Structure 1
Amino acid sequence: MTNQRAVVLPEGRLRKSPGRVRWWVLGWLLAAMMINYMDRSSLSIAAPHMIDELGLTAADIGLLGTAFSLTYAFFQLPAGWLSDRLGAKPVYIIALGFWSIATALMAVGHHMWHFMTSRVLLGIFESPVSPTSAKIVAEWFPPRERGAAVGVYDSGSKWGPAVAPPILTYLILGFGWRAMFIILGVLGIVVAIGFWVFYRSPEHDRRVSATELAHIRAREEDSHAPVGHIPWLRLFTQPQTWAMVLGFVAVVWTLNIFVTFLPLMLNDIYSVADAALGWYTAIPFAVGGVGGILGGWFTTKYSKIRTHLAPLACKRQIAAVYGAALAICSILVGITTGHFTLQLSAMSLALFFCGALSAVGWSIPADVVAGSRVASLGSIQNFGGYFAGSLSPWLTGVLVTSTGSYLVPFVLGAVVAGDC
């Protein structure tokens, strides 16, 4: 009965062209993703001040990054399952509210175990955001638009770290690093309340016209659309699942290094002042955001052009190209150490391809399984990527502390990207 009422809509909702409600929903996902990654980046922005005030080391900062990533990885599996089981809205709102509280708790820390607890809680409650976002996109967008939609919301994982440095640096200089964490937490709670008030599924959102709902549910252009319900455990037996996991290792490994260490790296090597550090740190992540959007758009367009191949096969080819480019750019980051402009350019290119590869990865689950398992498969992919990628902040911190150089960590990142 619920579905009938949702589909048989009043005449007032009929329009000649599809509406734009789905794009407003995408805007909410983009905003939440940006806040998600601003919260993650906050540690790297505050790191120089925490080191000076509390006597922490680069290895300590790396360990905090690894604690977050490892927790985030393991909680991917129940997060995706819960999203498919309970629905996207309640899981998303609870996650957003509690990860914001975890961010704010960093402000009251004075010892490593305080900060470790906060980052572990952040990992737990941020774990649903990506698989649940992929599920929402699968519910709100037809197959022909999903690649572009994924590229837009996933670009928030780069736009967040891009806007974080100048904004958070300003907050630190004006109010202190502890106040910065509190302000971030309040911002996240405000967005969670807004999502709770405004979000509905397409069938139950009175702003959605009958034409837009028909557009969202259109499947005639996707002859390869998956059907049927796959048991959750069987997802682990599919070769495609493990191919997705390996591809995501390259993305997470590289991204974790930048998110945790980029400001500290620029400060250590080039002694960039706080006022300028935020802006220089923003550049590579902004380029990464552009890469995410273009990667999603290109994936959609390329799949349409290569009509003799399934969209999934096209995305595999695109991912291979992006992965190779990411490996090359990671090497360039290492070998241009000492040349500021060249190194910043290499970092920007690395994050461009990292963003593009991430967008391709998050568009694949909807090509492989039906909507009832999109979040679950996406969470498995993200679990594998973050399980392996969780080593990169800790290993980078150890290598930097022991060698005093960032060369080896980035060359190692290139090897990981090339192999995956």
Structure 2
Amino acid sequence: MLKKGKGKFRFVGMIMKTTQLKNIGKFQSGGTPSKKVESYFGGNIPWITTVALNGKIIDQSNATDWLTEKGVNKSATKIVPPYSLMIGTRVGVGKVAVNKVSMCTNQDIISIVDINTEDWDIDYLRYFIKASAPYLNKQARGATIQGIKLEVLQNLKLPLISVEEQKRVALILQKVNLVIDNRKTQLNALDDLIKSRFVELFGDPVKNTMNWQVCKLGDLSVQINSGNTPKGGEQVYVDKGITFFRSQNVWKGRLEMEDIAYIDKETHGNMKRSSLKHGDILMTKTGRINTENSSLGRAALYLGEDDTANVNGHVYFIRLKPEINNEFVLKILVSKEYLGYIRSVCVGGIDKRQLNKNHIEDFPIICPPKDMQNKFIEFVQQVEKLKVKVKNSLDETQVLFDSLMLKYFD
């Protein structure tokens, strides 16, 4: 087992020699051609930013853009030869990938090229950088955009072990990583199964391709309101008390509790109007709309006890009439089609949009027969049970992977 001792690595009782990352190859920076010159783009040379650094082997399919030879020659970017180590040093510090084909990078990526394959296994190095990412992030500096200096990366110490041992370690990690990827694929497939079943039964919920009766969400609801931000903001939060949901807690179909806040009973009592009931749908009121996980219009179901939680001013709660299937309505609201609809009706600037109460009240909701809705939700519940099993297996495998990374690199 690898452990640190007085700046050196050791294997169970024996001193492990180390070397610095700067000794494994040549360090090469990237650059970005001017976007104002059209002739720099549209060529056949793949160019990437840190978005493409996915911890794996990448190729031209991961390209952020395509450059011409002129674009490469007239900018600071350089051709990175195949099987180099690409590392994010800014806007994605510690992210890593290995390129399968020649490509270029922007200035936020440092590539290590001309690695001696007789001494170093590229996959081992890739896992070493992944294990070093937390340390690299701690070294990041900057007021608006944080990054690390080249020396921080170059001075990283790594175990000096035989290439055969490196390959053995990398193979073990790859096998466990493959299981993790398979579990994630299973989860995505189960999500796709629910989506395809919905479309099969009900069609497009916005275009209403099956001509179902349509009702406004306001007519299906008892109450639709946003909460309030207590006077004093974060100063009034307490360690334990009434659960207080903010926009960062409301995601697509789920509530995230990791960054949850709490308020005391007195503050909650002054905000009775937004006290939550079991089964309320929560929806984010403001945010960006230009990303996959857009913060505007995300929705999830509150399943806690009545009057033991509240929401701030950036979250709406939608309390449906007792006879309305809230799980079915939620599935409509979090569908891909509805995300497009929400983007079409919200107001505000490019960076921050808002849903007003009247927008939500006017949301068109298809209303198929109740027995069809109920059968679909029963199907969803069965699939969710399978997802829990797969998720538990994924978590266990991730723990194994993390423990192996600590064993080999900490």
Q: Do they superpose with TM above 0.5?
A: no
The structure in which a higher percent of residues are helix is 1
Higher Rg of the two aligned structures: 2
TM bracket (short chain): under 0.3
Q: What's the TM-score once normalised by structure 1's chain length?
A: 0.21
Q: Which has the higher contact order (CA 8 A, sep 6+)?
A: 1
